Structure 1
């Protein structure tokens, strides 16, 4: 059995802790055989545990404590601590591992609920499970999620070589904001979502760049966001935004503009990997 979970990007600018898309980079988990103790074969670095202390096994055992140990193989092209849902993909993978090994027959809604309770918010885990574009909420212990088709475009991921932990990125956010500003921030998010539902990426991209919830506060940690937006405006991108807590920046691009935008991004004086991705429409898959 092989489980494949897509990378994700949360927020899309003003959809803070609520909106997310699934992307065409993947974590794969393969069940190899029974074992005396849990073991995960991977080449993801020495800092990633290979025993039952791994987040994957911890999550699986929290869902199904009586699982018998297995030997697993884990591979991933989702970069760690870059704002592309690397930890969320592991949580989603752990839930599915428990679901399959213990024949739990969890519904998609139940998986989203469990993953959200573990992660604390649904913006990454919901699209990892459902695929495509998901708007979700987690309020008073209740999880609600709606999936919709995201308009066709290329998604250019500018992934800096340095890490930015979510805890560090969240530490710069304010405890509160003025009511009037919150209303404005909410209206921007609403128009962005409506534009996506309408297939109007030019308008959606404009609203993505007007976020008032988090990007202004995180600007000091990701100065390249402003540079990338300038390139996007010059070359006809729909819009650019921080992926999750950063430092990755995503650029939504018409297919015919992508090569030129990538060429300009490669000229930026910051060591980074650049990937041209698409929106994954399926979410988690089991083969």
Structure 2
């Protein structure tokens, strides 16, 4: 059933995984990675709700109004003063859940992009609007910014308004994420952090964050030094000792390894495909098969939304995989 007086509209949304912090860039830096959630979202009559999910973590995802994409779409409609339609959502999730790869940020970004597409011709959502709305829901812009815009993003707050700058990553940077079976909630990972840091540690991280921008955009050979951190990773290691042990083991062998987001996955920013393969060999040797390597690329495009009959193809794909 369509919204009275209006034809139903279907939009197709695709959003990348992300890795936040990247070592020293706590709550500031984020990188979009080539693993994706895809959704077909259709407007229905008010009050109707249909949700189909396949792929990673499908059994754990709610099929009611608590679904994060649904909550985000409704939030966006209310923000621009438009009546909220009913929704049909058909999703195929590729981003691992609870593994430090930005799954919740991707869901929020997907909801914002879906709202943008469904509202086309009625209300406009600018890039600034989308980042603000996504940050209000997610709490921090470091994951939602790269999910929305792609590449390497620097996020900051200016007079209460989240801002971002997108940078292109040097073609020599080759990411690999090592994903364990266990999960870690962001709230748990944040709860172990100190409320204050020393001036020495703050200066250390400022210098490494600045160096990391140069390493990722111009000089990948500097990545090992540039990913050093004294603010959060060691403390988080208390809650996920296996993750921190792997980070230390990889770094001792010269690999730029960091906790991916809030963990428990480990991100290696290799300075070339050969070094990425070498990192995977080390993890296979010392990890006892407990870590799944994801050989990824940096996603430069970010989230996309389009109104297209091709969205129906996603429904067919989901039905096959269900």
RMSD of aligned alpha carbons: 1.9
User: Are the aligned partners of 1:228 and 1:265 in contact in 2 as well (CA < 8 Å)?
Assistant: no
TM-score (norm 1): 0.92
The correspondence for 2:95, drawn from 78, 86, 90, is 78
The correspondence for 1:202, drawn from 206, 210, 221, is 221
Cα deviation code 1:183-204 (max 9, x no counterpart):
222222222223334x111213
Q: Tell me, yes or no, if structure 1 residue 154 matches structure 2 residue 174.
A: yes
The correspondence for 1:257, drawn from 275, 289, 298, is 275
Cα deviation code 1:89-121 (max 9, x no counterpart):
110111111111122321222211211122111
Cα deviation code 1:153-172 (max 9, x no counterpart):
22111011001111111111
What is the DSSP-based 3-state SS (H/G/I as helix, E as strand, rest coil) of the residue aligned with 1:246? Answer: coil
* Aligned pairs for 1:78-97 within 5 A: 78-97=95-114
* Structure 1: distance between partners of 2:142 and 2:115: 22
Aligned to 2:290: 271
The correspondence for 2:24, drawn from 14, 20, 27, is 14
Gaps of 5+ in 2: 1-10, 307-322
* Aligned pairs for 1:129-278 within 5 A: 129-138=148-157, 140-152=159-171, 153-197=173-217, 199-208=218-227, 210-220=228-238, 221-231=240-250, 234=253, 237=255, 239-253=256-270, 254-267=272-285, 268-269=287-288, 271-278=290-297
* Structure 2: distance between partners of 1:114 and 1:106: 10
Gaps of 5+ in 1: none
Cα deviation code 1:137-184 (max 9, x no counterpart):
125412121111111222111011001111111111001112232222
The correspondence for 1:41, drawn from 44, 52, 55, is 52
The change in CA–CA distance for 1:166 and 1:139 in structure 2 (over 3 A counts) is farther
User: Are the aligned partners of 2:41 and 2:88 in contact in 1 as well (CA < 8 Å)?
Assistant: yes
Cα deviation code 1:203-262 (max 9, x no counterpart):
133220x2011011112224333434434553x64x111111100101122112333322
* Structure 2: distance between partners of 1:17 and 1:224: 19
Question: Which of 1 and 2 has greater Rg?
Answer: 2
Aligned residues between the structures: 283
What is the DSSP-based 3-state SS (H/G/I as helix, E as strand, rest coil) of the residue aligned with 1:279? Answer: coil
User: Are the aligned partners of 2:243 and 2:259 in contact in 1 as well (CA < 8 Å)?
Assistant: no
* Structure 2: distance between partners of 1:116 and 1:32: 24
What is the DSSP-based 3-state SS (H/G/I as helix, E as strand, rest coil) of the residue aligned with 1:273? Answer: strand
* Structure 2: distance between partners of 1:187 and 1:228: 21
* Structure 2: distance between partners of 1:31 and 1:282: 20
